[in-house]
Structure 1
Amino acid sequence: MQRTAIRRVAATAIALAAIGAGALATAGSASAATGKNGYLESGELGLYYNSNQAGAVFDLYVEDTDFWGDTFPGPGAGAGQSANDNTASYWNRDSNVWWVYTDRNAGGAEGSLPVGHVGNASVTFKNKISSAYYYKAR
């Protein structure tokens, strides 16, 4: 009788350990930023439709060599508008310097946005940005 009870306790402990291991194996890691969802998250570059970080945001987690066909997602003024040549301000929430260009494929004028930089686009870049990279592309 005592051996039966010990075996049941041992079997229950093994089953619980297996369930716990399975739960840990299927648990996801902390969520990473999701680019182009219209919400600027840590680890992303945000390009805003309006000055002073207002309106819809085109949020990039990885480089985009050509904004043609991309639109400002999410809420705010400019939502649904083309992201190509439509940026008035930005916020770099990434841990990398981002490089923006006035033409696709890193063409045209080149500008850098340091880590943590928040600001309005200069005359050279306002409504002229067409590609962005988290590294110097040329």
Structure 2
Amino acid sequence: MVAYLWLVWYESSCRMSPRHWALAVTYEAHDLAYATFYEVFRDGNAAHYQPRVVRRVHLTSKHGNTPYAGKLLLGEINDQVLGALEMYSETATELVNSHTKKRGIHELACHDWAIIIVRSLEDALLLPRGALSRVEKSPRFG
């Protein structure tokens, strides 16, 4: 069965604040599709991130109290990728946490996390070429 991988971003509190990014998987390619969201969030320790999976959410739903702002279809993925996406998310979270210790907590962890996953999938030829460059050009602020 074919699934679709999306980059989804949310409004920020002001133009200079970062937007939150998440990856979403749907089985339909339209706004009303239900999605499984993969993301990172800060736990009680401000410098430590945790992966999170949220199931059965509309692709264009709010994120908590934060309004949906936009999305980008990255490509079709197969069941093998879908089965490994939680592992990719956990590995990317570990990398983000190790870099956060070096760079500081004010870095854009959810952006780095998404880029790590998309780069890995594209390098493994599991996403079409160009997906990473499109993610890197996606809106990060405001």
Point out the structure with max Rg over C-alpha. 1
TM-score, structure 1 length as denominator? Answer: 0.24
Larger relative contact order, structure 1 or 2 (CA cutoff 8 Å, min sep 6)? 2
Larger helix proportion of the pair: 2
